[in-house]
Every structure is written in C-alpha cells, then in structure tokens.
Amino acid sequence: MNSQTDRKDNENLALIFDIKRDCSEDGPGIRTTVFFKGCPLSCVWCQNPEGKGPRPIAPQQAGLSLAGQCELDPADCLTMSHSELTRFYGLQSQPLEKCPAKAMTDVGYWISVEELLYRVLIDKAFFQSSGGGVTVSGGEATLQPLFLEKFLQGLKNEGVSTALETCGFFNYHTFKKRLLPWLDLIYFDLKLMDETAHRQFTGQSNKPILKNLERLLADATIPVNIRVPLIPGITATPKNLSEIASFLKSHDVEAVYLMPYNPLWIDKLEKLGISPTYNHREFMDDGQLADCVAAISQ
C-alpha cells in the first residue's frame, strides 16, 4: 500500500468491496459482478451501504465513546487518507488492526487491473458458454473512470461481454470518451422525477442524471435498460411512476425494469452501527408490485 491509493481515481488501482460470481440479476448468462466502492448519491434505502464511502474503512459502532482509548474520533478516521492513518498508528499495513476501540472495520480493498482481470477471467469459459460476462457495479463504478477504462478494455480484448450498473450521476464527457466504447450493456437507474424529493432521499439533484440519460439514449448504440427501484412511500408512488413513464415515452423508451423492494440492506446498515432513517422492513408483495406495474403502464 502506498500514497497512490489516496487518490480518488487511479488508472492502475481501484477500490472495490466485493466480487460475486454466478450473479443472475446483473445481465444475461452467467456473470461475475465487481462492486466498486464509493457513490455520489446517498440513497436512504441504499442496498449496499457498505459500498457508499470512498475509503476502505467504515464505522462499526455508532456513537461509540473513545474517551481514554484513542486520540481519533471515528469521523476523523473516515476523512483521513491511508498514509495519514499509517503515520498515526506507526504501521506499514492495515492501521485498523490497532484501532483500540474497535470502532472501525475494513470495508473494501485496493486492487490492480492485472489482479482484477485475473480473478474474473477465471470464469471466462462460463461466460462464453452461457452468453454471460462481467458486470461492474457499486457503489458507483464510474467514479473511477481511469481504472475502469483499462479494466473494460482488458475484458473486451479477451472477448468478454461487459455491462455497467449506474446511478447515472457522472461526468458525461468522460463517460462517453473512456467507458462507453468498451460497454455492451448499460443498466441505468431512474429513481425520482421530482427534484426536491430526489435531493431529500438521495442527497443530489436529479438534473444531471436526467440529462445524462437523454444524452446516452441519443448517443448509445448498445442497449440502455432503465431500472426503477420500487421503494414504498418514496419511488413506488402512482405520481412518481406516472411521471417516469411520461419522461421515458417522450424519449421513445418502451421498456422499463421494475425492481421490487428488498429490506435486507437494513441489516447491513445496522452492522455498521448506523441507524436507518428509512425503516421499511417488509418485502413488497405481489399486490403492491401489481399496483406499481399499473401506475407506470398508464
């Protein structure tokens, strides 16, 4: 580990938090999904809360008092670079091993292009036999475009199909130049049409997302699949779904993928010691899903 890992984007190193094989919902065929760490949004229902932060650490216990145990507060640890933490603890490797209050935990790790390609290409035969490939997800993979460009290019050079799952909040010029040429499929999440509600529940305006989608639909020569996460009381309302339908129809989009609500993210959040601000703990039933389908089909 060195000071290079303190950079937000590096063409040779990326911060990821998981690699999952045989993913059935991240594209066609047998796929391996790589989860990149860090996200520009902060959705209150985030399915992967462990992947939101831009550093390979996270708080483990909320509100833990460190008085008399450590000079650092967990909030300080989250904003310090790896080299700063290493200097503080006097270590050469992971500083978390000496966190005296056990208030921080490892979430994510740095990996090189070569190592990541090696890990996913182990399954190349399965990709080829099933029409599958590799999907990059997150967090938000587009936050690390220099690395992602080299990784996707490496996959295409090996004849592996590539897909991206994105929240849509990215620099479009960089995306079009560096990433779009190496993608075969895009899953683009559309959450809320009302800007005020979008800011309230995701922490960001939806204007860049909607503009990026408009540009992408005009420029892309590959499939761009629109997905809507159905969050009870937030995105899964007749008004929001009707507005999404109107927006998509105005751009000649005929299909949309609805993703039923899954509350398992709450357990992940609580394991990090964070209390959810949105606390809906029930799965969406068939009747609720049918209502959502009817609302977006009008």
HEC profile of 64-75: CCCCCCCCCCHH
More confident residue, 93 or 288: 288
Which pLDDT does position 58 carry in this prediction? 61
* Domains of the chain in sequence order: 14-56+112-297 (3.20.20.70), 57-106 (no CATH)
Closest CA to 213 of 177, 235, 189: 189
More confident residue, 28 or 103: 28
Phi/psi of residue 112, each to 5°? -85, 165
3-state secondary structure of 274: coil
Evaluate whether 142 touches 9 at the Cβ level (below 8 Å). Answer: no
Which pLDDT does position 104 carry in this prediction? 61
- CB-based contacts of 220, cutoff 8 Å, min separation 6: 180, 186
Amino acid, res. 176: K
Say how far apart CA 57 and CA 139 lie, in whole Å: 14
Which pLDDT does position 85 carry in this prediction? 56
Say yes or no to pLDDT of 231 above 80.
Answer: yes
Give the number of other CB atoms < 10 A from CB of residue 104. 21
pLDDT, tens digit, for every residue of 251-274?
A: 999 899 999 999 999 998 887 777
In which band, very low, low, confident or very high, does the pLDDT at 107 lie, cut at 50, 70 and 90? Answer: confident
Amino acid, res. 49: P
Average pLDDT over residues 54-75: 54
pLDDT, tens digit, for every residue of 189-214?
A: 999 999 999 999 999 999 999 999 99
Average pLDDT over residues 214-226: 97
Q: Which residues of 239-276 are buried (b: 16+ CB within 10 A; e: fewer)?
A: ebbebbbebbeeeebeebebbebebebbebbeebbbeb
> Average pLDDT over the chain, rounded to whole?
86
Determine whether 196 is exposed, middle or buried from the number of CB atoms within 10 Å of its CB (0-12, 13-18, 19+): exposed
Vertex 190: Cα angle to 213 and 52 (nearest 5): 105
Helix (H) or strand (E) holding 92: none
Say yes or no to pLDDT of 76 above 80.
Answer: no
Which pLDDT does position 105 carry in this prediction? 64
Q: Which residues pair with 20 in a beta bridge?
A: 33
